[in-house]
Amino acid sequence: MLPIINLNRQEIGLKTYYYATFPFNKQIYSIFREFPFAQWNATERAWVFETRSISLDELRPMFEGIAKIETVNFPLASVERKRKQLQPSDFLQPLSEQKQQDLEAFRNWLQSRRYSPNTIKVYIDTLVIFLRYFPDKKVIEIENEDLIDFNNNYILKNGFSSSYQNQVVNGIKLFYRSMHQSKFDVELVHRPKKEKTLPNVLSKEEVKKLLEVMENIKHRMMLSLIYACGLRRSELLNLTFNDIQADRLIIFVRQSKGKKDRIVTMSPKLLVELRKYYREYKPKKYLFEGQVAGEKYSERSLELVLKKSIMLAKINKPVTLHWLRHSYATHLLESGTDLRFIQELLGHSSSRTTEIYTHVSTKSIQQIKSPFDDL
């Protein structure tokens, strides 16, 4: 008799998850371990993944002859706790119909000027919060003093970061520039003082460990490309095989941040691994595809691939995908690569952005002799 996998469907906020529980079985366990989108929940002793990550029709064939899948729906204590954790925005009133229309007009304005989908989403999301904060005021009645009130009594009071505050300011300035009549003076808006933080960097040994623990060649290849070429997450997921020029050992990165094309170098060692990956997976369109052929790998699944790698490598740091890009730049600088070339490889418009890596490079600092040694 086949063991039963119980899929407990739970809604948390706007997302729906499956909590998969089953009697211990090596085959079932190994399959879930290979899922980049599944995480182990120690509290519920279950594998957890979003329902949108994979459909039941796709899941069942994977366990054919191994286990029977049944769906259930009963409350979980950990899920109930999450539901009770209200966010500051939960206490704001919903948008009026007129404000929704104003935001939709702004969205169309942004799209007509070819802003990226991600930028549009960030601006709209922050503006929704800002406009909900003033339920009794029309959009054209909001003044500069209201922004100060919002900054002090919503952003600062709830401990939001200066980068979030800056996103709000960007969205508001652009929003009111697109409007013909309002009491809001865009020119009087000041940005918050920017925090001077250094990029987080892994050592070469940590990067090597991170990559070596990944047995799945597809997962290893994705993380390898981000580090080896200094790619952003979206740049990796948008790559096609036409972007790989093996004879010149370069990769074309098309229409990345700021709608710019650039080329990055590729090592012969990386090309060998890339060919192994292609022979095994044979993607149809994108270099890395998800469960459906021809569709790009999801950002969420890529994040879970990294999370699994960190866990297996036993690296006790809050590593993100962007840490690999930071590490690439820092390691290039430490190996003697000119800062101007690093700027080109990363696709930075300003050299000042690239110069931040000089503050985390330890090559020169380690040569300084401490006066403590002379005591």
Choosing from 232, 254, 262, 307, the catalytic residue is 232
Choosing from 233, 296, 325, 331, the catalytic residue is 325
The amino acid present at 294, given as its one-letter code, is G
Question: CA end-to-end span of the chain, whole Å?
Answer: 75
Q: Are the CB atoms for 142 and 176 separated by under 8 Å?
A: no
Choosing from 17, 176, 297, 357, the catalytic residue is 357
The CA–CA distances, whole Å, from 11 to 18, 43, 78, 275, 301 equal 9, 17, 12, 41, 19
Backbone dihedral region for residue 19 (phi beyond 0: left; psi -120 to 50: alpha; all else: beta) = beta
Choosing from 219, 220, 233, 348, the catalytic residue is 348
> Residue 16 pairs with which residues in a beta bridge?
11
Choosing from 33, 132, 173, 257, the catalytic residue is 257
Note if 180 is an active site residue.
no
Closest by alpha carbon to 287, among 268, 270, 304, 312?
270
Q: Are the CB atoms for 321 and 233 separated by under 8 Å?
A: yes
Q: Largest alpha-carbon pair distance within the chain?
A: 75
Choosing from 81, 83, 157, 322, the catalytic residue is 322
Note if 331 is an active site residue.
no
Alpha helix segments (H runs only) across the chain: 26-34, 56-62, 77-84, 97-112, 117-132, 144-150, 162-177, 204-212, 217-229, 233-237, 268-281, 299-313, 321-334, 339-346, 351-354
Note if 232 is an active site residue.
yes
Note if 325 is an active site residue.
yes
Catalytic positions, written as ranges: 232, 257, 322, 325, 348, 357
